[in-house]
Structure 1
Amino acid sequence: MLKNTPRSILFICLGNICRSPLAEGVMRHVWENSGRSEDIHFDSAGTNGYHTGDAPDPRSVEVAKLHGIDISAQRCRQLTRDDFYTFDLILGMDQVNMATLAQRKPEDTTAHIALFTDIAGVGDMEIPDPYFGDMSGFEEVYRMVLSSSKALAARI
């Protein structure tokens, strides 16, 4: 169990079009179906702003839809300085994201920053970027995000 129940969790990947929007949608779905009454705000962002305002990658939308989760209304955004004070947990998908978060975090941040899989308790593995692959990569990311989301929900 985590010491305190987070009130807000932000998922981070590079562009906020593949992994982090999928993690946001899956974690929200897992939490809403967990029977827990605590209200937690889930969001996602990218370390770069290349896709700001865009919908998630169609393959992320499709793999989520195949599993009964609708992420089509999400819009990509870039990580901001305010996020380090607004969110209780900021969770990176891989070590590159973690290095960027460490570099950008203000000294007085109130957020706990961690690798998603590590804080979920499933190991310190990275969730790979499926962007340059086919649907099988997105399905693999979905499975990793689902197991991490279930494990994190159980730890909260």
Structure 2
Amino acid sequence: MSADRKPFRVLFICMGNICRSPAAEIVFRRMVDEAELSHAIHIDSAGTIGYHAGKGPDPRMAATLKSRGYTIAGKSRQVHPDDLDDFDLLLVADQENLADLHRLDGTGSRRSKIRLLVEFCQDREASHVPDPYYGGQKGFEDVVDLVEDACEGLLLHVRKAHL
């Protein structure tokens, strides 16, 4: 990457920014670090609502990620209209999040960079990343499995198309 080139910026988005989007941020950050691309890719996450602002990931999601060797970090924040301009790719967990981001992009001028995270899955087929909040432990495991698959495909995409 040339010195004048800015890092490619990726924002993961779910509803509360305590389960799915922080999981994606944490998983992708480790993949990017292991690929020695942290200088070239900036990663963040946000929620469509601000209810959990300032809180860390849900303890059940944190425990699931820790059990797989991930380092838990980050605080919840609400997505901001400026994020639509500041990030190169905004990846949402489900159709409701997609609709929320499309509403935030009133002009529709940034829709091409708002996509479903599952579009990058390589091995799993899913229409969305399900919200595990009201379910049991299996839901958290399933989300991390899906996120890991999607983040692997995402890293391949970013390397090929943007770096």
Give, as a single letter, the amino acid of the residue that structure 2 aligns with 1:62: A
> Residue by residue, what CA displacement relative to the aligned partner does 1:33-81 show, whole Å, maximum 9, x if unpaired?
235576211000000000001111001111111111112x310000001
Give, as a single letter, the amino acid of the residue that structure 2 aligns with 1:29: R
- Distance in 2 between residues matched to 1:110 and 1:58, nearest whole Å: 33
* CA-CA distance at 1:10 after TM superposition: 0.2
- Distance in 2 between residues matched to 1:33 and 1:56, nearest whole Å: 22
- Distance in 1 between residues matched to 2:96 and 2:37, nearest whole Å: 33
Question: Does 1 or 2 have the higher relative contact order (CA < 8 Å, sep 6+)?
Answer: 1
What residue number does 1:155 align with?
157
* CA-CA distance at 1:109 after TM superposition: 3.9
Q: How many residues align structurally? A: 150
What residue number does 1:75 align with?
75
- Distance in 2 between residues matched to 1:24 and 1:130, nearest whole Å: 16
Give, as a single letter, the amino acid of the residue that structure 1 aligns with 2:80: T
Instruction: Judge conservation of contact 1:87–1:111 (CA < 8 Å) in 2.
Output: no
Give, as a single letter, the amino acid of the residue that structure 2 aligns with 1:56: P
TM-score normalised per structure 2:
0.84
Instruction: Judge conservation of contact 1:85–1:111 (CA < 8 Å) in 2.
Output: no
What residue number does 2:3 align with?
none
Instruction: Judge conservation of contact 1:117–1:148 (CA < 8 Å) in 2.
Output: yes
- Distance in 1 between residues matched to 2:52 and 2:10, nearest whole Å: 21
- Distance in 2 between residues matched to 1:20 and 1:43, nearest whole Å: 9
What residue number does 2:127 align with?
125
In structure 2, stretches of 5+ residues that fail to align are 1-5, 159-163
Q: CA RMSD in A?
A: 2.0
Pairs within 5 Å for 1:7-156: 7-36=8-37, 39-71=40-72, 73-107=73-107, 108-109=109-110, 112-118=113-119, 120-122=120-122, 125-156=127-158
- Distance in 2 between residues matched to 1:147 and 1:97, nearest whole Å: 20
Going from structure 1 to structure 2, the CA distance change for 1:134 and 1:101 (only over 3 Å counts) comes to same
Instruction: Judge conservation of contact 1:9–1:89 (CA < 8 Å) in 2.
Output: yes
Give, as a single letter, the amino acid of the residue that structure 1 aligns with 2:130: P
SS in 1 for 2:12: strand
Going from structure 1 to structure 2, the CA distance change for 1:79 and 1:36 (only over 3 Å counts) comes to closer
* CA-CA distance at 1:110 after TM superposition: 8.6
